[in-house]
Structure 1
Amino acid sequence: MIRIGLIGASPDRGWATAAHLPALAALEEYEVTAVATTRLDSARRSAAAFGIPHAFADAGELAAHPDVDLVAVVVKAPGHAKAIEAALAAGKHVVSEWPLGVNLAEAVHLAEAAGAAGVANAVVLQGFHSPSAAFVKDLIAEGRIGSLESITIVAAGDCLGGARIPQDLAWSTDPAAGMNLLTVMAGHVLAMVEHLAGAVSELSASLAHRHREVKVIETGRMVPSGVPSHVAVHGRLEGGAVAVVSVHGGSAPGPDGFHIKITGTEGTLAIAPTRPGLYPHWADWSVTHAAADGTRTEFVVANDSPLPAGPAANIAAFYRELARALADGRPAHPSFDTAVRQHRVLAAIENSSRTGATSVVADAGA
């Protein structure tokens, strides 16, 4: 049994409550033994609500507790570094939500610190554990579409990047917060591109900034915004195939969610969510395979999770992989090093958009 402490599990709302706690509750490999929030009364309410033995207002105290083997950091991105460093100082295994840091430099620092600490480390990129993505990855590897030629993804990034924003996300309009349409929504999509089709070696990109002020939905207050409203990327993969990614912001849920088309020399895969409105790293996928001889095959990938399609299902798969890694004494995947790789892709996008030049992605083979 892996005893896990969650940093950032609010009793009323938040990502830990919506996704991590349901995922962990479905897994026999884990026991949630501690919770920490910024206020002790809030932590105690969370502990009471979810039957968790220990409550803290300090990440360091949670990490140091003997009943905690693994620390999960599920706070806002600006708080990741402090909470991760507390776990490393206590010699505990650590999980971080994506993005790992607020920028590339912070992500590199945290990955190096985790390596030096010699503990297991993992980052929550749900697309790596999507049964649908695994199925499509296998189709490509088996040569079902021949040699890969291109992958194209159009995805919605609501509720980020639009003209309006919920009050509890208004803090994300500051680029220094590290949580926006590029880092979160496009970050997940681009990680999935690399998972499915291989590393991006070079890219050209444009970041649109359509809304220099956005309206807070609940209050009507206007707040300045320095974050992008649209991410457009044209890249080349290490094997020579082309990747085209468009992630658009919005103020309302997208009616379709996403579309993916993967072309090869001998066929094409067309992919959409089985239920409209979900992001690609959350959804179950409907996959149509069109072969060069004109035959078409429809697949709906079965998800064996006890949880319905959505973030908790693939986060549960993430935690199952981490449990296996700990039992086998091997590195977890995706790790902090994987996160650094994805931060390098984001940095290349920012550089290309700023300079208008093609950017080579550092350590493309990582």
Structure 2
Amino acid sequence: MIRVGIVGASGWAAASHLPALAGLADFEVTAVATTGQAGADRVAAAHGVPLALVGAEALAARPEVDLVVVSVKASGHAAAVRAALAAGKHVLSEWPLGVDAPEAEELARAADAAGVVHAVNLQGHRSPDARYVADLLAAGTIGRLESAVLVAAGDPLGGPRIAPELEWSTDPAAGTSLLTVMAGHFLATLHRVAGPLVEVSARLPRSRDRVEVTGTGRTVRNGVPSQVLLLGTLENGAAASVTVHGGSGSPDGFLIKLVGSDGTLTAVPPRPGTYMHWTDWDIRVDGEPAPVPARYRTVPFDPAAGPVANVAAVYQEVAEAIARGRTPSPDFHTAAAHHRLLAAIERSAATGAPQQVR
């Protein structure tokens, strides 16, 4: 049994991590921590967790915790991860791992030095649908991949309005934006399907200097992009085109189109209002349905219910890595490499020139 402590156990963690862990026999949540005792007490009581603590250091120090899950704001990830590493605990961090590539790389080195299992919740890497499409490509189902197109909605970030609980995300220093979070997850999923980008030419339009805080009558300064536009080259030489558009409501879906020398594969959501790294896909090869075989779906959750299924798949991978003493996928080095991709996108947008991903 892997005993789990969650730092930042409200919000996203309550909607995904805690339900995922409740359905997996290899895990037991033994502790939660928030910034205040009252909040920790509420979460612990709601989910039947024995220990309610304040702060990452207090949680990581407890002998009842084997795995520390970091689910706070991106700007607080590094401190919470370091607390877990200092205590010699395995750690799973939410994406993004840090606020930038240098911080992510430093955390990856520190995790290696600590000798613990380290993973990042880029759950698109564990998506059964993404893994199946990757296997179809590897099997030559559409021949040699020649181009990859991705169009996706990045709501609730990047639009003319922002929810009050996300007001802080309009500051680039917060590390949470249409590029870092939404495009970050989408590009990671595309990587799992089609391989890494090695060169990018990008634009990050920011269509408004101020955005409205929904329901307050206030506006706040906006320093983050409204769109992510990207042309690039994949490792196998295929062309890639990515558009992630911001918005203020429920996302209207995504489209993946993979064109090969012998055919075309498309993937879209079977239901509106979800993200590609959360849900199952309607996959078609040359227009014909290509349903995901049951063996790819290894968790006891319906992917139609939202993000819990793919988050649970990440936990399955972590459990296997701990049991076998191996590195999970995706780990902190995967995250650091992905941060370097985002840094190349930012360099290209700033300079107007193509950039190598390194």
Q: Distance in 1 between matches of 2:187 and 2:55?
A: 34
Structure 2 partner of 1:21: 18
Q: Deviation of residue 150 (structure 1)?
A: 0.8
Tell whether the 8 Å contact from 2:251 to 2:275 is kept in structure 1 after alignment: no
Q: Distance in 2 between matches of 1:207 and 1:213?
A: 16
Structure 2 partner of 1:79: 76
Match status 1:179 vs 2:176? yes
Structure 2 partner of 1:316: 312
Q: Deviation of residue 283 (structure 1)?
A: 1.4
Tell whether the 8 Å contact from 1:151 to 1:260 is kept in structure 2 after alignment: yes
Tell whether the 8 Å contact from 1:273 to 1:284 is kept in structure 2 after alignment: yes
The Cα offsets for residues 22-60 of structure 1, whole Å up to 9 and x where unpaired, read as 000010000000000000111111111111011111211
Q: Distance in 2 between matches of 1:306 and 1:231?
A: 35
Structure 2 partner of 1:330: 326
Structure 1 partner of 2:145: 148
Match status 1:245 vs 2:242? yes
Question: What is the correspondence of 1:1-366 to structure 2 with a 5 Å cutoff?
Answer: 1-10=1-10, 14-255=11-252, 257-290=253-286, 296-301=287-292, 303=297, 305-309=299-303, 310-362=306-358
Tell whether the 8 Å contact from 1:275 to 1:284 is kept in structure 2 after alignment: no
Q: Distance in 2 between matches of 1:239 and 1:33?
A: 45
Structure 2 partner of 1:293: none
Q: Distance in 2 between matches of 1:304 and 1:361?
A: 33
The Cα offsets for residues 237-262 of structure 1, whole Å up to 9 and x where unpaired, read as 1111011110000012233x101100
Tell whether the 8 Å contact from 2:156 to 2:251 is kept in structure 1 after alignment: no
Q: Which runs of no fewer than 5 residues in structure 2 stay unpaired? A: none
Aligned-residue Cα RMSD (Å) equals 1.0
Q: Distance in 2 between matches of 1:311 and 1:211?
A: 30
Instruction: Name the amino acid aligned to 1:237.
Output: L
Q: Distance in 2 between matches of 1:62 and 1:252?
A: 35
Q: Distance in 1 between matches of 2:217 and 2:161?
A: 9
Q: Deviation of residue 116 (structure 1)?
A: 1.1
Identity rate of aligned residues, in percent?
57
Q: Deviation of residue 304 (structure 1)?
A: 5.0
Tell whether the 8 Å contact from 2:74 to 2:175 is kept in structure 1 after alignment: yes
Q: Distance in 2 between matches of 1:68 and 1:129?
A: 24
Instruction: Name the amino acid aligned to 1:6.
Output: I
Q: Distance in 1 between matches of 2:108 and 2:21?
A: 24
Q: Which runs of no fewer than 5 residues in structure 1 stay unpaired? A: 291-295
Q: Deviation of residue 73 (structure 1)?
A: 0.2
Q: Deviation of residue 297 (structure 1)?
A: 2.2
Q: Distance in 2 between matches of 1:220 and 1:236?
A: 44
Tell whether the 8 Å contact from 1:204 to 1:233 is kept in structure 2 after alignment: yes
Tell whether the 8 Å contact from 1:126 to 1:318 is kept in structure 2 after alignment: yes
Tell whether the 8 Å contact from 1:132 to 1:284 is kept in structure 2 after alignment: yes
The Cα offsets for residues 271-304 of structure 1, whole Å up to 9 and x where unpaired, read as 10111121110111001101xxxxx421233545
Q: Distance in 2 between matches of 1:279 and 1:104?
A: 24
Secondary structure of the 1:201 match is strand
Q: Deviation of residue 186 (structure 1)?
A: 0.5
Secondary structure of the 2:266 match is strand
Instruction: Name the amino acid aligned to 1:202.
Output: E
Q: Deviation of residue 141 (structure 1)?
A: 0.5
Q: Distance in 1 between matches of 2:354 and 2:9?
A: 41
Instruction: Name the amino acid aligned to 1:84.
Output: V
Secondary structure of the 1:156 match is strand
Secondary structure of the 1:300 match is coil
Instruction: Name the amino acid aligned to 1:149.
Output: E
